[in-house]
Amino acid sequence: DTGVSQNPRHKITKRGQNVTFRCDPISEHNRLYWYRQTLGQGPEFLTYFQNEAQLEKSRLLSDRFSAERPKGSFSTLEIQRTEQGDSAMYLCASSPGGVQFDEQYFGPGTRLTVT
Amino acid sequence: KNEVEQSPQNLTAQEGEFITINCSYSVGISALHWLQQHPGGGIVSLFMLSSGKKKHGRLIATINIQEKHSSLHITASHPRDSAVYICAVRSGSGGSNYKLTFGKGTLLTVNP
């Protein structure tokens, strides 16, 4: 399968624990995006990478959140000291870049439940 | 008020019916996307358009830039079309035109 993959697909954690999610974009896509989707809502933008550079970070991303994309390939999203309000679907997308309106391809998401 | 509003929020149809889902937005955009999300999370891009009309199989998407409105139509609906349909707009210019703002989605259920 050559689509965007995310791991794990589901994560249940206790409040206060740290969690890390991984996203593997489509090969040679140099743009990568993280979104968060809560129940009944559309996705909300979290952050954006162009290759390894994190070019934008939403105000939704508190200091407990950090994202990296070493070497411009896979990306990780870490949440420290999780809170119940962090429970959501975390979606990753990638796009090839290089054209004005390049299409974003979404992964299956990681569903986080904080108990 | 959300920048992207969809209607209806929920839609139930009988197999074979013609479906219309509407999207209105309040900001200037460079492109509009229609996306499909099945239970479990996966999102698939259906259309990206900046003017006029696009057709793919039984799906048709239209956009009216002046009225800031887009519609997604499904002809001869089928139970496998049951999903959440999400409208998203791309705003910003130049290097920042990647950002998508999403509507809340329309839950479509097509009964056999």
The pLDDT, as a whole number, for residue B56 is 94
pLDDT category at B1 given cuts 50, 70, 90 is: low
- What is the rounded CA–CA span in Å between residue B111 and residue A31? 39
Q: What is the mean pLDDT of residues B91-108?
A: 80
The pLDDT, as a whole number, for residue B92 is 66
Q: Which of A106, A110, A112, A113 best tests the B interface by mutation, with the highest count of B CBs <10 A?
A: A106
The pLDDT, as a whole number, for residue B94 is 58
Residue A100 confidence (pLDDT) above 80: no
Q: Which of A37, A39, A47 best tests the B interface by mutation, with the highest count of B CBs <10 A?
A: A37
Question: Tens digits of per-residue pLDDT, B73-95?
Answer: 999 999 999 999 999 998 766 55
Residue A28 confidence (pLDDT) above 70: yes
Residues 6+ apart with CB under 8 A from A67: A34, A46, A47, A49, A54, A57, A61, A75, A76, A77, A78
**Amino acid (1-letter code) at residue B25:** Y
The pLDDT, as a whole number, for residue B98 is 76
User: What is the DSSP-derived secondary structure letter of residue A76?
Assistant: E
Residue A2 confidence (pLDDT) above 80: no
Q: Which two tokens stand for residue A40?
A: 């009944």
Q: Pick the residue from chain A with its C-alpha nearest to B30.
A: A101
How confident is the prediction for chain B on average, in pLDDT? 91
Residue B72 contacts residue B57 (beta carbons within 8 Å):
no
Q: What is the mean pLDDT of residues B27-53?
A: 89
Chain B (44-63) residues lying within 8 Å, Cβ to Cβ, of chain A: 44-45, 48, 50
Residue B7 confidence (pLDDT) above 80: yes
Residue B2 confidence (pLDDT) above 80: no
The pLDDT, as a whole number, for residue B99 is 80
The pLDDT, as a whole number, for residue B42 is 84
- What is the rounded CA–CA span in Å between residue A15 and residue B89? 34
Which of A44, A102, A109 is opposite residue B41, by nearest beta carbon?
A109
Q: What share of chain A is helix, strand, coil (3-state, %, to 5)?
A: 5, 50, 45
Give the number of residues written for chain B: 112
